[in-house]
Amino acid sequence: MLLGLAGFARLMRFIPRSVMVGFVNALAILIFTAQLPYLVDVSWLVYPMVAAGLAIIFLLPRFTTAIPAPLVSIVVLTGLTVAAALTVPNVGDQGELPDSLPFFGIPDLPLTWETLTIIAPYALGVAFVGLMESLMTAKLVDDLTDTPSNKTRESWGQGVANVASGLFGGMGGCAMIGQTMINVKSGARTRLSTFLSGVFLLIMVVALGDIVALIPMAALVAVMIFVAIATFDWHSLRTIHTMPRSETIVMVSTVAVTLITHNLAIGVGVGVLVACVLFARRVAHLVEVTSVTDPDGGTRVYSVHGALFFASSNDLYTQFDYAGDPENVVIDLSGAHVWDASTVAALDAITHKYATRGKTVDVVGLNGHSASRYERHSGQLAGAH
pLDDT score at 312: 83
Q: Each residue of 292-314: pLDDT tens digit?
A: 988 887 899 999 998 888 888 87
Domain residue limits, the chain = 2-279, 288-377
pLDDT score at 381: 63
Burial class of residue 223 (count of CB atoms within 10 Å of its CB; 0-12, 13-18, 19+): buried
How far apart, in whole angstroms, are the C-alpha atoms of residue 41 and residue 384?
64
pLDDT score at 147: 84
- Strand 360-364's sheet: what is its strand order? 288-293, 299-308, 328-338, 360-364
How many C-beta atoms surround the C-beta of residue 177 within 10 A?
25
For domain 288-377, give the fold.
Answer: Transcription Regulator spoIIAA (3.30.750)
pLDDT score at 385: 52
Segment (H or E) for 3: helix 2-5
pLDDT score at 50: 96
pLDDT score at 260: 94
Q: Each residue of 61-84: pLDDT tens digit?
A: 898 878 889 999 999 999 999 999
Tell me the angle at which helices 177-185 and 113-145 cross, rounded to the nearest 10 degrees: 30
Are 322 and 353 contacting, i.e. CB atoms less than 8 angstroms apart? yes
Phi, psi angles (nearest 5°) of residue 375: -65, -35
Alpha carbon of residue 143 to chain centroid: 14
- Quote the Cα angle for 308-314-315, to 5°: 85
pLDDT score at 316: 83
How far apart, in whole angstroms, are the C-alpha atoms of residue 133 and residue 190?
19
Burial class of residue 292 (count of CB atoms within 10 Å of its CB; 0-12, 13-18, 19+): exposed
Counting as low any pLDDT under 50, the low residues of the chain are 384
